[in-house]
Amino acid sequence: FDVRAVQTTVYDGQKPGTSGLRKRVKVFQQEHYTENFIQATLDAVSPDGGAQGTTLVVGGDGRYFLQEAVQKIVKIAAGNKVTKLIIGQHGILSTPAASNLIRKLKADGGILLTASHNPGGPDNDFGIKYNVSNGGPAPESVTNRIYERTKALTTYRLADLPDVDLSAVGTHQFANFTVEIVDSIDEYVALMHRLFDISLIRNFLRARKDSFSVLFDGMHGVTGPYAHRIFVKELGLPETSVMNAQTLPDFGGGHPDPNLTYAHELVERVRRDSVSFGAASDGDGDRNMIISHDWFVTPSDSVAIIAAHAHRLPYFNQGQVKGLARSMPTSAALDRVADRQGLEMYEVPTGWKFFGNLMDAGQLSICGEESFGTGSDHIREKDGLWAILAWLNVIAHISEERGTTVGIRDLMDQHYQSYGRNYFTRYDYEEVDSASANKVMDVLQDHIQSQKLVGQALGCDTAKFTVAQLDNFDYTDPIDGSVSRNQGVRIVFDDSSRIVFRLSGTGSQGATIRLYIDKYEGDASACFLDAQVALKPLIQVALEVSQLTALTGREKPTVIT
């Protein structure tokens, strides 16, 4: 086949954020825009040799523009002498499934087409993310290389190939270039069978079908077909236990983010029908929410629960837990489990890419982020269905041990009794204009500069918090020594409570300010308040110190989780 060097001009702003390049579909539809970024990504696959001779996995979450993007990748990959592309059927792969395939098939990397939980459709978002050979998001050294290339491109290399039929599993050969279309689900389900005691869960669900009900919400994202296969086919649950399970290019017009705000349809049904175990996943399948009719599990608590019960999961029982980790803004609930079990605990910046090195070095098994991300070293992405199955496996296991049905609320009760509770909340102020958002961060930076708040007691008369530490979080990767600076402003108080501010790196419009609050309560009898009530005084302190309301004009956050 012929390869043409197509003349192009540079687009500004093709800098990958927390998790790839995310922009409006209309931005990606500009002439050469998507092609430029794909070329830059392929150039960055290896430090000097580009992508020649490599095997790459390609797939996305089903959102609008996926098909077009896959066809462009095929042609540009061929033009860059890639040896082989492995593509999910219909172009579909959940983010965890893609991570698994990269590892399983020993590919050199993968291109994931997703903007995760951001809405999809012609007027919403698209995204492109590069993952490296360990299956995880590219580290900053690689994303910086991609960005540098986007600023210098003059041409991209396009092979003259027909569109590939993505609808059927099979292999297409074009001279030395191979395109293999693979089933999107099989390998992922096989992996879950290796990690969990699926028959234990199935037997539990069958035996307790009158006392333990399950409802999963696919939010019309990529996980629906995976969940249907696992919950209905493998675990024997009724069809009605899976809702919004059809993947749609616009996610049914919804915002496929599993939290109390955007997964309200699930939340309402769980409460109305007294569902024992409700769960949801986001657009690309890496996030999860766990809820029951009588409790909402915060993601920070969820990872702590999984870690505390890891010995009940076959995968960890065999391999032993090597270490635990969380992103910096995530509550310290997990730290308490690490402490009790004598496990190493790591605190990394926001974004899953920071967990990969620790996992590759055999120092980390289970980790999570407050943003509904939970996972382990079975792959190098967070994994929504994994977390949901981990919970079901733990519940089935304990219920069997005790000969009674143990629910979500029971597990939480016992956990708080034993460890105390880290009250946690996150306030998101979305689509703030960038100038005002930067002013808020400047105010905080000034506080760090002066350090005058240190030692001061902030808050109201009934709740005072003395500032112990005020800084911007810097991270040095313990494995490769790379340094990531300015990962979030921290105000730490002498009772270990924390206020954290950072700007989002995944938005596509304006700026999003995230405010995170974490406060430990050791008295078991005080562990069952509404988090918003328990954290009110600290939230007040955060708003005062940052002057957020005055600087942004926002009286209220857009989303509270």
Structure tokens at 286: 């890496």
Length of the chain: 561
What angle is formed at CA 535 by the lines to CA 254 and CA 550, rounded to 5 degrees? 75
How is residue 557 written in tokens?
A: 């956050």
| Least distance between ligand VG1 and beta carbon 283 (Å) | 8
Cα–Cα distance measured from residue 179 to residue 425, given in angstroms and rounded to the nearest whole number:
46
Contact (Cβ atoms closer than 8 angstroms) between residue 384 and residue 281: yes
CA–CA separation, 472 vs 65, rounded Å? 38
What minimum distance in Å lies between the beta carbon of 328 and ligand VG1?
A: 10
Identity of the residue, 54 or 259, whose beta carbon is nearer to ligand VG1 in the bound complex: 259
Catalytic residue chosen out of the listed positions 116, 241, 276, 327: 116
Q: Out of Co ion, ligand VG1, none, which partner does residue 516 contact, by CB within 5 to 8 A per kind?
A: none
- Residue 123 CA, distance from chain mean position: 23
Pick the closer one to ligand VG1 by CB: 91 or 351. 351
Measured from the CB of residue 514, what is the shortest distance to ligand VG1 in angstroms? 6
Position with the least CB separation from ligand VG1: 116
Matching residue, tokens 């969940």: 227
* Residue 139 or 351 with smaller CB distance to ligand VG1: 351
| Helix or strand run (H / E) with residue 441 | helix 434-450
The closest of 223, 226, 225, 206 to 214, measured between CA atoms, is: 206
The listed partner (Co ion, ligand VG1, none) that binds 537, CB under 5 to 8 Å by sort, is none
Active-site residue 450, yes or no? no
Residue 371 as a binder of Co ion (CB under 5 A): the answer is no
Across-strand partners of 425?
517
**Which run of H or of E encompasses 216?**
strand 214-217
Binding segment toward Co ion, per CB under 5 A, in 112-120, 134-142, 161-169, 486-494: 112-120
Residue with Cβ nearer ligand VG1 (18 or 244):
18
Give least dist CB 282 to Co ion, A. 4
User: In which residue are the tokens 């050969």 written?
Assistant: 173
Tell me the closest approach of the beta carbon of residue 271 to Co ion, in angstroms. 25
Q: Are strands 3-7 and 155-159 parallel, antiparallel or unpaired?
A: antiparallel
| Contact status: 377 vs Co ion (CB under 5 A) | no
86: three-class secondary structure by DSSP: strand
Residues lying near ligand VG1 in the complex (CB under 6 A) are found at 18-19, 116-117, 282, 286-287, 327, 350-352, 369, 371, 373, 504-506, 514
Choose between 124 and 276: whose C-beta lies nearer to ligand VG1. 124
Report, in Å, the least distance between residue 400 CB and Co ion.
33
Residue 18 binds to Co ion (criterion: CB under 5 A) = no
Q: Nearer Cβ to ligand VG1, position 91 or 375? A: 375
Distance CA 532, CA 175 (A): 62
Per-residue x/- mask for Co ion, residues 260 to 299, rule CB under 5 A?
----------------------x-x-xx------------
User: Nearest Cα to 94, choosing from 245, 256, 226, 229?
Assistant: 226
Catalytic residue numbers read 116
**Where does this chain bind Co ion (CB under 5 A)?**
116, 282, 284, 286-287
